Structure 1
């Protein structure tokens, strides 16, 4: 039976980065992925994902983000391909809403340069936006996007070059601790042993960690690309990435880049949740209608023909914060579920965090927000 220092189950955003970080440290590492690498069944496809420092979700994320930016730059230099594009970013909505108030709090606590604008000034600076009367936007210049599939390709390619072994189309079917303090893993193709196991299986994490079956809930999302009626305001260099809180919900958007069309998504979309295998990956007219309603509300000059629709999955915890921890009583098993719709940007630093946990048992970063224990006795954190 083959034996490894670390097995990484799930070679998506987090798993690919962890595999790379472990391999570059000289560890014997096996990556297992149930689908292709990369693939379009999980949470990391669709060209790109937003990265931002003005983090409205919680100020504790900002130090992790500073390191994430550094590691994305290191990764793209090593890989020889730009992965991080800085566009500036807007967090917009009612002044007392979660997005704007949280964004401003993060900026103030961490000394981030920012600029608060009313709806009129936002439209003058960025003509694509039509914010509701009384709404404001916080502009932070460091925001942008990371090329999601290419980032996974980069991490996997460099992991392989550093000696990692990676198996696509090989699903994890079970795992158990061994008498020596390691772990035995079974898959659709074989059995392996390792000193440590990292479970980073995304929307399937509940299948492999019973404690997370009720806490990490997959949700169906749809991304849309629409043809702008006036292309110039939506072009790279003119349009910042943004999160806008509207009467229809909070939406997120990108400049035209990589594929044709203005890209937009709606958080919690149609509120469809369930097991990852049961959620449809086929976009519908209802999906398109939900996205187009937001386009007409905030970006009327993008209300042209639909160019593409893509389904992906969020994996939401009750408090929408990540789960990054070892399992109770099993320090050799590390759970990595940086999810709830805002995880991808952290993949570079989470790779480092997970490699640290697997090799030294601790991380230099503050992970207190992500502990499993916060859900004890059914709590939501």
Structure 2
């Protein structure tokens, strides 16, 4: 059996970042294991674009937002690759729709309160000011918008590939098409069981997302995770210049449903998605067929509020969110087995991935994390109290 100083299970957004940070510190002796090919489309980290933003509704995430930008800048400097594209970003709240659906808890004031606390500059716009600046939007008059200039796009597929490449440059080994069947505490170390044999490690980071409970089954831990099948649609808009990243910001629209949109990037097309609300599934049983109800919902929203953003559908695709009952991250060592570290991104972690990679390395190497993650423990009531209610922010 081979012996490694550290093993990372799962090489999506969080796992590839952890592999990079561990290899940077430990050099050879670090192993990354991925059950599929790198860049596969079965999990949560595929696709070209994720929104990155300082706008956070909760202080525990706002505390990590600026450091995440710095972490991405470090990765860009080391690799010479551009990963983050600043476009500016909007949070648009349709207040009439929010009141009608009784979902007003996530409102503009919540964002501005956190911005004020953390000293982040922003602008507030009414409906007319919004369309004066971005005439691509069509509004009803009850909308209010928050604009923050540092928001933008983090290129997910490129980021994962860059993290793996940098890890290899520091001596890490990568094994693909290698499912991990079990992670077993083995004295002070860990036995990682694969179809090709057992690997021994001093420490392990499990970043397996929707497969987390399968990987941890022999460790005595099972987390109350909900797996949701979400989807996005790309539109081959004929109005490319109007929706170039230099002219149109990323946006989140909080109304009857919560949509998010990305200008032309990655594909010669715009992108629209809905945050949360997908069907419950499992990693093994999920369908890859997009939901026609959501397709129609997206098309109706585009036709009503950003008609020139639309066009022929280039394609729709699905991905998985793996979500604890409180929709919070999990970044922690296993109780009683601190040599095993677990990471769950809860469907909204990619913007922080470069930073989280370093935090996971801190945990694995038995250091105090460089930034506060006390709210993301594996022992919090949301994960240990069977009566804890699911509370997903939509």
Q: Smaller-chain TM-score range?
A: over 0.9
2:122 aligned residue? 114
TM-score for the superposition, normalised by structure 1: 0.94
Taking the aligned partners of 2:221 and 2:149, their CA distance within structure 1 comes to 36
1:82 aligned residue? 82
Shift of the alpha carbon at 1:273? 1.0
Verify the 8 A CA contact 2:7 2:30 in the aligned structure 1.
Answer: yes
Taking the aligned partners of 1:303 and 1:63, their CA distance within structure 2 comes to 35
Taking the aligned partners of 1:285 and 1:94, their CA distance within structure 2 comes to 25
2:359 aligned residue? 353
SS at match of 1:75: helix
Write out aligned runs for 1:289-308 (5 A). Answer: 289-308=296-315
Shift of the alpha carbon at 1:99? 4.4
In the alignment, structure 2 segments of 5+ residues that lack a partner are 96-103
Verify the 8 A CA contact 1:241 1:252 in the aligned structure 2.
Answer: yes
Relative to structure 1, is the Cα distance of residues 206 and 328 closer, same or farther in structure 2, using a 3 angstrom cutoff? same
2:53 aligned residue? 52
In the alignment, structure 1 segments of 5+ residues that lack a partner are none
Verify the 8 A CA contact 1:46 1:310 in the aligned structure 2.
Answer: no
SS at match of 1:198: strand
Per-residue CA deviation, residues 47-91 of structure 1 (Å, 9 max, x unaligned), is 1100000112x1221221211111111111211111000111111
Shift of the alpha carbon at 1:233? 2.8
Taking the aligned partners of 1:303 and 1:193, their CA distance within structure 2 comes to 52
Shift of the alpha carbon at 1:97? 4.8
SS at match of 2:42: coil
Per-residue CA deviation, residues 95-130 of structure 1 (Å, 9 max, x unaligned), is 555042332122111010000101111111112222
Taking the aligned partners of 1:280 and 1:141, their CA distance within structure 2 comes to 37
Shift of the alpha carbon at 1:214? 5.3
SS at match of 2:174: strand
Verify the 8 A CA contact 1:91 1:99 in the aligned structure 2.
Answer: no
Verify the 8 A CA contact 1:7 1:198 in the aligned structure 2.
Answer: yes
Verify the 8 A CA contact 2:182 2:216 in the aligned structure 1.
Answer: no
Shift of the alpha carbon at 1:252? 0.8
Residue correspondences, number: 376
TM-score for the superposition, normalised by structure 2: 0.91
Per-residue CA deviation, residues 213-271 of structure 1 (Å, 9 max, x unaligned), is 55221111111011335433322111111111122x101111111212110101124x3
Taking the aligned partners of 1:227 and 1:185, their CA distance within structure 2 comes to 45
SS at match of 1:145: strand
2:379 aligned residue? 373
Taking the aligned partners of 1:68 and 1:99, their CA distance within structure 2 comes to 24
Write out aligned runs for 1:224-303 (5 A). Answer: 224-228=233-237, 230-247=239-256, 249-269=257-277, 271-303=278-310
2:100 aligned residue? none
Taking the aligned partners of 1:214 and 1:200, their CA distance within structure 2 comes to 13
Verify the 8 A CA contact 2:183 2:191 in the aligned structure 1.
Answer: yes
Verify the 8 A CA contact 1:127 1:233 in the aligned structure 2.
Answer: no
Taking the aligned partners of 2:131 and 2:84, their CA distance within structure 1 comes to 26
Taking the aligned partners of 1:280 and 1:245, their CA distance within structure 2 comes to 27
1:199 aligned residue? 206
Q: 2:132 aligns with which of 118, 121, 124?
A: 124
Taking the aligned partners of 1:338 and 1:5, their CA distance within structure 2 comes to 24
1:321 aligned residue? 328
1:133 aligned residue? 141
Taking the aligned partners of 1:87 and 1:38, their CA distance within structure 2 comes to 25
SS at match of 1:276: coil
Verify the 8 A CA contact 2:209 2:322 in the aligned structure 1.
Answer: yes
Shift of the alpha carbon at 1:212? 7.1
Relative to structure 1, is the Cα distance of residues 201 and 119 closer, same or farther in structure 2, using a 3 angstrom cutoff? same
Q: 2:113 aligns with which of 85, 101, 105?
A: 105
RMSD: 1.7
Q: 1:150 aligns with which of 152, 158, 165?
A: 158
